[in-house]
């Protein structure tokens, strides 16, 4: 009964939608030996396993037993041991089978290969900032391929879910450098640690967890703080890349522990600070305003309240009901405000890390890990582009990654403008914003 209780609580949004059966069926992940010995290949493999274990309850994984080259989430030193430990940290009841090669494990029909793997329906690949899912896959050895590998893992997790539902997956190539489909691969050198000044991440839920998870592969240079007064619930572990069952009080498969703070857990992924309290309280306690605010919380009116503080730029990410992850830029005087982009009546449609599984159906949302993870990755890419000066020069201010992997394009973009009667633009003109005492690192963008 404990196993049933665990899945009933963790997967309740998905179960309410009536799609529990496909997730009991085995799915496979195969990591090719050459790819397993590269940092980018290990990022793709571990991240794909991380997302898959939050939905699928019977994993069949073939992975070479090589030394771990990237930061560990489960505390192991080899790739195979990290894979196994990570699955059980996420889902202590998973019917997991791990082998060192494809010939030693029974791979079911729904399977994805990391790198060039024969006899599998789909393979993942990455070339610098480009991520692909299709019949063939390879990983370049350039340092920036860590970004492409992260994107490939998100595409792969979405593909696994669609395959398990008996739905087709079209080959896709996405450029995280141009934020376009079939775009450029970007520079070959590595991604520098983020140099953004002091950063406040308001909200430490699924998208923030995804951001912290991906950013730990890049690093940060300045002080970051994650602000959230919530505790980790078991259903949060369904979609937060850095949230484990023990953080929700499930230790060794039993509900016997205390609930951890979302802010503390998420901040710990980056060795950053966590503020275990609400935004209004943090405003009173903060010694000085941060240089950059990332509004990721879904509390009523919270994003709009942050948008009315006269920040020169705001960047955030959301997910939608239509299998999309969205990156938003709000540059003062150039872009629209958060209130115009996401009116209060629509915030429930862009809740953190939720999406329906069926096409066009209404009803309960289903929490899908690859949506929140993709939103966190898009936000990291946006921050990388902000740090290197590219983000403010892009014509679009809203980018959307479509993860249904069907007939429509996988990456789209658009440009939004404020409504004519926008109260924020009317009440906070540039002259007034420039008189505010808290201008910070990015004041020159206004």
Q: Do domains 7-181 and 199-445 have the same CATH topology?
A: yes
- Among 3.30.70.20, 3.40.50.300, 3.40.50.1370, 3.40.50.720, what is the CATH number of 199-445? 3.40.50.720
Low-confidence residues in the chain, pLDDT < 50: 346-366
User: What is the distance between the alpha carbons of residues 17 and 90, in angstroms, rounded to a whole number?
Assistant: 22
Classify 7-181 by CATH class. alpha beta
Looking at residue 432, what is its pLDDT? 57
- Domain residues of the chain, as ranges? 7-181, 199-445
Looking at residue 356, what is its pLDDT? 39
Looking at residue 436, what is its pLDDT? 62
Beta strands 224-227 and 273-275, pairing class: parallel
Looking at residue 347, what is its pLDDT? 40
Can you list the positions of beta strands (E) in 263-385?
273-275, 292-295, 313-319, 324-331, 354-355, 366-367
* 11, 19 Cβ separation under 8 angstroms: no
What region, left, alpha or beta, does residue 186 occupy, with left being phi > 0 and alpha being psi -120 to 50 degrees? left
Q: Find the DSSP H helices in 308-422.
A: 338-341, 369-387
Query: What tens digit of pLDDT does each residue of 363-402 get?
Result: 333 468 999 999 999 999 999 999 999 999 999 999 999 9
């Amino acid at each position: 009964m404990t196993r049933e209780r665990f899945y009933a609580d963790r997967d309740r949004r998905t179960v309410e939608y009536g799609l529990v059966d496909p997730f009991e069926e085995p799915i496979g992940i195969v990591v090719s030996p050459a790819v397993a010995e590269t940092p980018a290949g290990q990022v793709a493999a571990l991240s794909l396993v991380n997302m898959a274990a939050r939905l699928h309850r019977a994993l069949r994984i073939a992975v070479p037993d090589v030394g771990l080259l990237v930061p560990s989430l489960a505390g192991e030193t080899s790739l195979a041991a990290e894979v196994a430990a990570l699955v059980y940290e996420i889902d202590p009841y998973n019917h997991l089978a791990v082998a060192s090669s494809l010939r030693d494990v029974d791979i079911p029909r729904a399977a994805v290969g990391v790198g060039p793997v024969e006899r599998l329906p789909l393979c993942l690949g990455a070339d610098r900032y480009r991520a692909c899912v299709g019949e063939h896959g390879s990983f370049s050895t350039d340092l920036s391929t860590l970004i492409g590998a992260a994107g490939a893992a998100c595409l792969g997790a979405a593909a696994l879910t669609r395959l398990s539902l008996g739905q087709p997956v079209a080959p896709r190539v996405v450029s995280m450098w141009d934020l376009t489909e079939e775009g450029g691969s970007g520079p070959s050198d590595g991604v520098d640690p983020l140099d953004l000044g002091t950063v406040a991440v308001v909200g430490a839920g699924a998208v923030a967890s995804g951001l912290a998870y991906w950013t730990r592969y890049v690093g940060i240079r300045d002080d970051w703080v994650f602000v959230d007064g919530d505790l980790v619930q078991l259903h949060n572990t369904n979609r937060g890349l850095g949230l484990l069952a023990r953080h929700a009080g499930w230790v060794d498969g039993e509900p016997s522990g205390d609930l951890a703070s979302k802010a503390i857990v998420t901040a710990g992924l980056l060795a950053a600070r966590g503020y275990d309290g609400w935004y209004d309280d943090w405003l009173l306690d903060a010694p000085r305003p941060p240089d950059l605010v990332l509004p990721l919380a879904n509390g009523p009116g919270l994003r709009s309240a942050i948008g009315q503080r006269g920040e020169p730029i705001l960047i955030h990410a959301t997910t939608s009901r239509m299998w999309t992850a969205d990156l938003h830029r709000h540059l003062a005087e150039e872009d629209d405000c958060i209130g115009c982009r996401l009116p209060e009546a629509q915030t429930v449609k862009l809740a953190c890390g939720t999406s329906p599984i069926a096409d066009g159906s209404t009803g309960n949302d289903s929490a899908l890990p690859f949506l929140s993870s993709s939103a966190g990755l898009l936000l990291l890419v946006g921050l990388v582009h902000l740090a290197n000066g590219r983000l403010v020069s892009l014509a679009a201010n809203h980018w959307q990654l479509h993860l249904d992997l069907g007939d429509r394009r996988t990456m789209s973009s658009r440009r939004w403008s404020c409504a004519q009667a926008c109260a924020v633009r009317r009440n906070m003109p540039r002259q007034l914003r420039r008189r505010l005492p808290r201008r910070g690192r990015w004041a020159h963008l206004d």
